[in-house]
Structure 1
Amino acid sequence: MDSDKNRTIELLSPAKNIECGLAAINHGADAVYIGGPGFGARKSAGNSIEDIKALISYAHLYGVKIYVTINTLLFDQEINAANELIHQLHKIGADAVIIQDMGLLETELPPIPIHASTQTDNRSIEKVQFLEDVGFDQVVLARELSTSEIKSIKQATSVPLEYFIHGALCVCYSGQCYMSASINKRSANRGECAQPCRLKYSLKNKKGQVLYKDKHLLSLHDLNLSEHIEQLIDAGVSSFKIEGRLKDKDYVANITAHYRQLLDTYIQKKSKLKKASSGFVASSFEPQADKSFNRGFTNYFVNGREKGIWSIDTPKALGEKIGKIKQIGKNSFTLDSAISMNNGDGICFFTKKKELTGLKINQVEGNNIFPNQITGLKEGMTLYRNFNRIFNQQVNNNTSKRKINVDIVFEELNDNTFSLSMLDDDQIKSTIEAQTLTPDIANNPERALSQIQTQLAKLGNTAFAPANVHINLKQNWFFQAKELNALRRQLIDKHEVARREYFKAKERAFSKSEVPFPQEELNYTANIINSKAQAFYKRHGVNNSTWGFEKIEHIKGAELMRTKHCLLYMNDQCLKEHPEARQQLPLTLYNNKDSYELSFDCKNCEMIVKKAPK
């Protein structure tokens, strides 16, 4: 395992577009992942090369890295275009590309670092070792891994490990879900997932007894590992990833700022660790994770299997729990809590039928809350706030700035020659010499010195903040403000260029190898849908492989999903504890359109979903 003193801790934030990318950087992200003009696993979140280039320029000022997602499976006719895109991204200075399709490794890649997407199903020591040996620079681990499993992987490898800490959860192992593709040819592995896991289903046993009726049985709460940052760092995670490439700017800003504070607190306690980028954030609001979109939170499997990871009553955002209804009047209600409500807030509640219903708050008068309608509300009912108008305004209108501390030195070299220099926290220094200044002897030396200091410290809306201003002059000079301002602006421009050059993307040539893959035979779950991917696995010792789900019209008896979420466990009928429950099998998951057979791999604590036989 790497020594702690060699580890940087990276906060990795999502960007739907350049606006979200800028929000991520301004609120403390060390790296941002964003989709390019094609081949990203969120098809609706693509961005132009020009926008990505602009984001890279801004990011590198702070030492922030930009990773571009090329993480879909590719058909043969798409490989060349994807390769050309990677060459374009290398040319504009992207720091890495995140890929899923191994066929890309059989093309001639530019010298750009490559990261293994979570879509490559990275949940074993052997798989991560293989990816490291092949030449991946970072590996995104499966969300289902516990800290003990992560620690075991880290002890056996040296590649940086990336792990999701917040956001929506796929119920299936990433890259292994074929449910959407089987229903309507919308492949999750090609960025087109229709999210059938968020739909309503019923569940019946072998005898036809209905165990659940019209519930969102495959829908999970959202991930929130705020309380587990320290143990994840200790386990070996280097990159902490926030999910959300379809989320808006306010979500990215709030959640990034939230985890920036948490990570900084821990990094400050560990002298051998450091954050992966520069500067500090002066936030104009207090981040609160529960006030952004969420379906309720879960730790998922970070500590092993736990109750309550599921959200079967609704796949929609609940928001923050605000309390129960204490009393209902003619047009208003009061709460049993002291939480302050605002005009324009959105609230929601579950009806008797467990249907989520939303209301808007029209007016708040003292303890009395007046919604746009009172129908459906009952005393004792639990309410949630899924839209906090005041908080959202604070986030959307925030003036948070990211700054880099600099020491400024203005000194006299010789007659009529002066230098102005800037040294930042990364020990990057820029200096300019000025021979065009026209100083006069100061009538009031103290005032003249103060004026020089004031003018040089005016860094305004730049990326820099003056930590110290040192003035070393041989005489008591007076300078015109416009001359000092021009000199300061010239130095700022030069220092920005120096920082971007210092933090430009590191080149990393990829070399093809013949490292043996952990398996010699592969089925459709290896997601091979082009000839180059087939050649890749053959190069690495796979003697027999079949085409992936997207390439074959029908695979008889195919697993559409394998998941750690177990409906028997949810129903308190875990087969390890209740072997008699096996008499109910097989279970059938169904709705008006589709029907699936459920089986259970108890050795690995996994539930398997297959198309039900007709």
Structure 2
Amino acid sequence: MKQVELLAPARDIDAGIAAVNCGADAVYIGARQFGARENAGNSVQDIERLAHYAHKYWARVYVTLNTLLYDHELPEAVALITQLYEAGIDGLIIQDMGLLECDLPPLPLIASTQMHNNTPQKVAFLEQVGIQRVILARELSLDQIREIRRQTSVIELECFVHGALCVCYSGQCYLSYAIGGRSGNRGQCAQPCRKKYTLKDRDGQILSHNRYLLSLKDMHRADYLRELLDAGITSFKIEGRLKDEAYVKNIVSYYRQRLDAVLAGGDWRKSSSGTSRINFTPDPVKTFNRGYTNYFLTGRRDEAVASIDTPKSIGEKIGQVLTVNKRYFMLDTPAILHNGDGICFFDTSRELQGTQINSVQAERIFPASMEGISRGMVIYRNYDHAFITQLSNSRIERKIGVRLIFCETPYGFFVSAIDEDSNQVGHELACEKAPARNKEQAMNSLRKQLTKFGATEFECTNLEIKLSEPYFLPVAQLNALRREVLEKLTTLRAQQRPRIQGSILKNSVPYPERALSYLGNVLNQQAEALYLRHGVTRIEPAAESGLDLHGKKVMTSKYCLRQQLGLCAQNSTIAANFTEPLSLVDEHGQKYLLRFDCETCVMEIFFAPARL
């Protein structure tokens, strides 16, 4: 059967193990440096430990080395990649094409979404030079994904299905670098998209004042897993390498359940082994979210994809305030708040405020502070104390099913173990066969001891006993027999674990473009050499080379402010009320000019001054 992968984030080894336990088929984690999340690095030793744990379930571990590299960093990056290969990782997520010119170990290479993999031509090129998988641009629609699959052959397609969204095309954002020298392509993004801006027209008219105009909601595509699978996606990725363990447990468990329902009875199967069992009900609104959007997957609709009132988590809507007292308030719905919950609300200035619940008495809710709470206000819960406590104390286990066959031989007994991946081992116990005096007790002891798998990754799903009559076997012998056969099965699974080797193809297939501006992100001589060999004739150095970005485009987005604010050019009445070009002004007075390509529904942001 064809395989499909649920891919989870790991901030550290504990989050990675939690993801595997909750059913992830693979996890991705940052190494000590050169990752697109500078503050989410891990030692090679921890990554090796995580890989060892994941491999028991045939789950995979990918490492993110997805930043642009300076020439002097390439030798260190190659040395790190070699160490990671020796540590047993299963793939490397990269952004810098210069690495394809280096002498790398045979790791499968995965093209980071930072490469902006958005066209069939780009993905086909990556396939031809030996890239094993591409992580597609987040803003692609189902139709665009289908077309990429139609024009490629064996390259694997991965896409994000959940988590935070960058407002800009990934790998094409230079706003943070332009403002303060902190490059997103170097893992140092200062997140200016989560700051306040004022939108003005050419004449200075304010169209929106001091709002979070570039802050998007979070992605949620659980309702489209079937459609994505049919479009050619084989890896479903959850964002969140800076998120805590509670987020990982909740979201991975949720998508495991949703994906399993899609796979049931079909031609696809998950790519790893074992079944996860949890003792909580996963719910995406219970952990960090800014509200949810499918982000143009089904085309551009009227939905607002941004959260312009706050970049913070708002959580779940609880109800409206019905009654206000000096010390408490009451809601229009039955109170479901509890002691220790965190709540938030938008005040009269549309600023997000919050407080903690001290106690709940019947329908009366007593917060730590009543400041700002008024009648008619909508209350959200952004911290569910009981749910988070349940996650922290949750009993999660992942077990690989094993069938046992116990039979007698002329010289004793033999046990066979067959796991859910059809791996089979056996072990013989040579001993005297003494008929049992208490036949029922002997059979009960046999079943109990052979199926007592304890804290191993295995569980017995069936025990078949083939004996001419019940025999007496000491408990110690049965325990030793069970341990021997499970150790053999563990060894065999390690030998049989599917492995994929990568192979960079040094050729001269033409790159889809003949000229690369700074948007091509060429920061080192190896990347330049690669593009030249593939037919590119003009190459401008990357922004991070020290390029002056004044007047240049620093962001391109599928998100459109005019559509978000109801100012779309297709509405001629509204459009007549302001004069172009529009501009954003941040809290420090820095101006950014906007250009709207209405034919392709794309918004571009330029670092002022610029001539449009």
The yes-or-no answer on 1:100 pairing with 2:113 is no
Specify the alignment match of 1:409 in structure 2.
Answer: 405
8 Å CA contact 1:403–1:464 kept in 2: the answer is yes
Structure 1 window deviating more from structure 2 (150-159 vs 103-112): it is 150-159
8 Å CA contact 1:178–1:188 kept in 2: the answer is yes
Cα distance between partner residues in 2 of 1:86 and 1:38:
11
Q: SS where residue 512 of structure 1 aligns?
A: coil
Considering only aligned residues, what root-mean-square deviation do their CA atoms show, in Å?
1.5
Cα distance between partner residues in 1 of 2:470 and 2:306:
72
8 Å CA contact 1:73–1:189 kept in 2: the answer is yes
Question: Which stretches of structure 1, 4 residues or longer, exceed 6 Å deviation after superposition?
Answer: none
Structure 1 window deviating more from structure 2 (360-369 vs 503-512): it is 503-512
Displacement of 1:504 in angstroms is: 5.2
8 Å CA contact 2:128–2:505 kept in 1: the answer is no
Q: Which amino acid aligns with 1:529?
A: L
Cα distance between partner residues in 2 of 1:478 and 1:393:
48
Match of 1:287 among 263, 276, 282: 282
Cα distance between partner residues in 2 of 1:301 and 1:399:
37
Summarize deviations over 1:229-279 as a string: whole Å, max 9, x none: 121112221111000000011100100000001010010142x11111111
Displacement of 1:408 in angstroms is: 1.1
Specify the alignment match of 1:477 in structure 2.
Answer: 471
Match of 2:557 among 554, 563, 573: 563
Specify the alignment match of 1:345 in structure 2.
Answer: 341
Q: SS where residue 39 of structure 1 aligns?
A: coil
Specify the alignment match of 1:613 in structure 2.
Answer: 609
8 Å CA contact 1:57–1:500 kept in 2: the answer is no
Displacement of 1:592 in angstroms is: 3.2
The yes-or-no answer on 1:487 pairing with 2:494 is no
Match of 2:206 among 207, 210, 213: 210
Structure 1 window deviating more from structure 2 (136-145 vs 323-332): it is 323-332
Summarize deviations over 1:355-380 as a string: whole Å, max 9, x none: 11111011111211111121211111
Q: Which amino acid aligns with 1:497?
A: T
Gapped runs of 5+ residues in structure 2? none
Pair 1:284–1:43, CA change in 2 (3 A): same
Gapped runs of 5+ residues in structure 1? none
Match of 1:588 among 568, 583, 589: 583
The yes-or-no answer on 1:36 pairing with 2:31 is yes
Cα distance between partner residues in 2 of 1:409 and 1:102:
53
Q: Which amino acid aligns with 1:299?
A: N
In the TM superposition, what are the counterparts of 1:462-611 in structure 2 within 5 Å?
462-503=456-497, 505-578=499-572, 581=575, 584-593=579-588, 594-611=590-607
The yes-or-no answer on 1:398 pairing with 2:394 is yes
The yes-or-no answer on 1:174 pairing with 2:150 is no
Match of 2:451 among 457, 464, 470: 457
8 Å CA contact 1:128–1:139 kept in 2: the answer is yes
Specify the alignment match of 2:130 in structure 1.
Answer: 135
Cα distance between partner residues in 2 of 1:245 and 1:55:
15
Summarize deviations over 1:296-353 as a string: whole Å, max 9, x none: 1111111112321011110000000111111123311111123521110000000001
Summarize deviations over 1:54-92 as a string: whole Å, max 9, x none: 111111111111111110100001111111122222222
The yes-or-no answer on 1:144 pairing with 2:150 is no
Cα distance between partner residues in 1 of 2:491 and 2:13:
21
Cα distance between partner residues in 2 of 1:509 and 1:95:
13
Displacement of 1:202 in angstroms is: 0.7
Displacement of 1:490 in angstroms is: 2.4
Q: Which amino acid aligns with 2:398?
A: R
8 Å CA contact 2:196–2:587 kept in 1: the answer is no
Specify the alignment match of 1:330 in structure 2.
Answer: 326
Q: Which amino acid aligns with 2:318?
A: I
Displacement of 1:438 in angstroms is: 6.1
Cα distance between partner residues in 2 of 1:555 and 1:366:
59
What number of residue pairs does the alignment pair up? 606
Match of 1:117 among 93, 102, 112: 112
The yes-or-no answer on 1:19 pairing with 2:14 is yes
Cα distance between partner residues in 1 of 2:585 and 2:381:
32
Pair 1:510–1:234, CA change in 2 (3 A): same
8 Å CA contact 1:439–1:480 kept in 2: the answer is no
Displacement of 1:503 in angstroms is: 1.5
Match of 1:421 among 393, 408, 416: 416
Cα distance between partner residues in 2 of 1:476 and 1:347:
64
Summarize deviations over 1:90-123 as a string: whole Å, max 9, x none: 2222111000000000001111111100000011
Match of 2:250 among 245, 251, 254: 254
Specify the alignment match of 2:442 in structure 1.
Answer: 448
Q: SS where residue 489 of structure 1 aligns?
A: helix
8 Å CA contact 1:93–1:504 kept in 2: the answer is no
Cα distance between partner residues in 1 of 2:434 and 2:338:
60
Cα distance between partner residues in 2 of 1:579 and 1:242:
41
8 Å CA contact 2:550–2:608 kept in 1: the answer is no
Cα distance between partner residues in 1 of 2:292 and 2:78:
39
8 Å CA contact 1:438–1:479 kept in 2: the answer is no
Specify the alignment match of 1:321 in structure 2.
Answer: 317
Match of 1:309 among 287, 305, 312: 305
Summarize deviations over 1:467-522 as a string: whole Å, max 9, x none: 11122234532111122112212222222222122225322332212111001111
Match of 2:231 among 232, 235, 238: 235
Cα distance between partner residues in 1 of 2:500 and 2:338:
49
Structure 1 window deviating more from structure 2 (520-529 vs 510-519): it is 510-519
8 Å CA contact 2:550–2:607 kept in 1: the answer is no
Q: SS where residue 506 of structure 2 aligns?
A: coil
Q: SS where residue 237 of structure 2 aligns?
A: strand
Q: SS where residue 495 of structure 1 aligns?
A: helix
Q: SS where residue 263 of structure 1 aligns?
A: helix
Structure 1 window deviating more from structure 2 (100-109 vs 563-572): it is 563-572
Pair 1:567–1:431, CA change in 2 (3 A): same
Structure 1 window deviating more from structure 2 (227-236 vs 43-52): it is 227-236
Cα distance between partner residues in 1 of 2:569 and 2:424:
65
Cα distance between partner residues in 2 of 1:501 and 1:508:
19
8 Å CA contact 1:60–1:504 kept in 2: the answer is no
Q: TM-score, normalised by structure 1?
A: 0.96
Cα distance between partner residues in 1 of 2:43 and 2:518:
33
Q: Which amino acid aligns with 2:192?
A: P
What percent of counterpart residues are identical?
45
